[in-house]
Amino acid sequence: MNHDIVRTRIEPAPSGSIHVGNARTALFNWLFARHHGGSFVLRVADTDAKRATEENYQAVLEDMRWLGLEWDEGPEVGGPSGPYRQSERFGLYDEAAQKLLASGAAYRCYCTPEELEAERARAQSEKRAPGYSGRCRHLTPSDIETFEAEGRASSVRFQVPEGRTITFHDEVLGEMSTELGLTPDFVIQRSDGSPTYMLAVTVDDLAMNITHIIRGNDLVASTARQILVREALGADGLPVFAHLPLLVDDKGRPLSKRWGDVAVRAYRDQGFMPEAMVNYLALLGWSFDDRTNIFSTEELIEKFSLERVGKNPAAFDISKLEWLNGHYIRGSHPDAIADALVSFCVRAGLPADTEEGVSILRRVTPLLTERMKRLTEAPPMIAFLFGGVEPDDKAAKALDGQDDYLRELSDRLASLDEWTTTSIEEAMRALAEERELKPKKAFQPVRAAVTGTLVSPPLFESLEILGRDETLVRLRRAAAK
């Protein structure tokens, strides 16, 4: 087939937010297509009606757009090979199944679930590899007539040729070979008429002229079967295959919901930025050199190649993702971070989605960027700017015996000609010097009284943002208590 015009694809199943492994696969496909000036196709594997809800479908599109992986063809964009939801392509899959039946490459299987389970149990007891025996391969017309009269449902199985070896080149793994002697005949269409993955993916890859199949290593075992179906459907040549290394956790286990959050949405909700997530996902199984970890999207497009994809499993390291996230927080315009913080603050119960709330965020955000690794760290630090506070245990301890000091400080602050960070700092340092107090001893009670905690943005700047009236109210209230 013609590989001059690169066409890649991703086909997530809409069962909720995209798994980070699928997001990494989508990113590599997107980068490869962009690097070569080709097309990136999004199609949605929504053949499972129980899981493929409209909400889950929209979540897939939202995750892709949040990551910045806009597609050239697919849902809501269109293209010459649509529709791009597999639930709307059943007629194409049935047509392919009928073609394979007519050519003898496939046959109808009338085995009941109970019969298939008995086969599996027998193979297990005899310590044989499980797999379909091929018992329906050679049914006579009389057998078929009998089963049809009984009302038996039938699936369609692909007839795997015997004594053949399938060989293909993988851009990551090298030369790969599969001997078909141990490959059982496999179902391509279920008894309800729905396609299996093997039929749907092959039909769609052919119809959409996909030139490069870049996917996870867990699917490498299915490649030989996919090649068989392609051949039987009359495909001319093979696409380029590239199977990406497995993602594992810090203990070397395949990344799974059993071990923690694995969905893109979970990391988004935890305060990670899309730029950091894209940069980090690119480093999972790919590297440009041993020194560079930070790449803009433009740099990734320029430098990405399949030759630099590794074979070994890639460990998902949350601390490295946090480090990258901190880098992107510090490197972003404070107003952009302030806008991103609105939703996190609202979720924490702070009225940050008002005109006044946004104004407060834009003023305080420059004080936060050096202190955050995640956007979720902001709301607790700035809650004092959105309403009254009650000192936590540590703050209450810092206030013990400080009533006289807080009263005098409030009087001095009340007399300031202007309410600025500089004038506030000068007044507070002057009082501390008169009382021979070290900065920590002088400023901690003020922080405790005003913010309700001992951890906050820089104190003098925070007081300016809070305002003279509210600052004095809180200092005097703490002194009175």
Does some domain include residue 205? yes
Considering the domain architecture, whether residues 375 and 417 belong to the same structural domain is answered as: no
Lowest mean pLDDT among 15-29, 243-257, 438-452: 243-257
Q: Does 439 lie in the same domain as 356?
A: no
Which residues are within 8 A (CB) of 262 and not within 5 positions of it... i.e. 6 or more apart? Answer: 19, 20, 21, 255, 256
Note the pLDDT tens digit of each residue in 5-59.
999 999 999 888 899 999 999 999 999 999 999 999 999 999 887 778 889 999 9
* Helix, coil or strand: residue 85: strand
**At 444, which CATH number?**
1.10.10.350
Residue 388, pLDDT score: 85
**Rounded distance, CA 281 to CA 309, Å?**
12
Within 161-213, residue ranges assigned H as helices are 197-207
Residue in the structure block whose two tokens are 């009941």: 112
Residue 8, in any domain of the structure:
no
pTM assigned to the model: 0.93
- pLDDT average, residue stretch 444-466: 96
Average pLDDT of the segment spanning 235-260: 87
101 with 240, same domain: the answer is: yes
pLDDT tens per residue, range 335-347:
999 999 999 999 9
Residue 251 appears among annotated catalytic residues: no
Structure token pair of residue 73 = 């063809």
Q: Sorting pLDDT into bands at 50, 70 and 90, what band is 201?
A: very high
Contacts of 203 (CB under 8 A, 6+ apart): 89, 92, 93, 96, 195, 233
Q: What is the pLDDT of residue 259?
A: 57
Task: Give CA–CA dist 368/378, Å, rounded.
Answer: 7
pLDDT score at 139: 94
Asked if 391 contacts 478 with a C-beta cutoff of 8 angstroms, the reply is yes
Q: How confident is the model at residue 258 (pLDDT cuts 50, 70, 90)?
A: low
What's the total number of domains in the chain? 3
Do 466 and 367 fall within a single domain? no
**Does 215 share its domain with 127?**
yes
For position 176, which CATH number holds?
A: 3.40.50.620
- Going 285 to 286 to 287 to 293, the CA torsion angle's sign is negative
Q: One of 257, 394, 397, 440 is an active-site residue; which one?
A: 257
pLDDT > 70 fraction of the chain, expressed in percent and rounded: 99
- pLDDT (mean) for 59-67: 96
356 and 458 belong to one structural domain: no
CA 95 – CA 205 distance, rounded (Å): 15
Same domain membership, residue 407 and residue 373: no
Residue 348 and residue 213 in one domain: no
* pLDDT-above-90 percentage for the chain: 86
Do 233 and 367 sit in the same domain of this protein? no
Domain, as residue range, for 353: 332-383
CB distance 466 to 385 below 8 Å: yes
- Cα–Cα distance list, 250 to 19, 196, 284, 319 (Å): 17, 34, 13, 11
At residue 478, the 3 state secondary structure works out as helix
232 pLDDT tier (thresholds 50, 70, 90): very high
pLDDT (0 to 100) of residue 286: 97
Q: Do 340 and 433 sit in the same domain of this protein?
A: no
Q: What is the CATH classification number for the domain harbouring 355? A: 1.10.8
Q: What is the pLDDT of residues 171-194, one digit of tens each?
A: 999 999 999 987 899 999 999 999
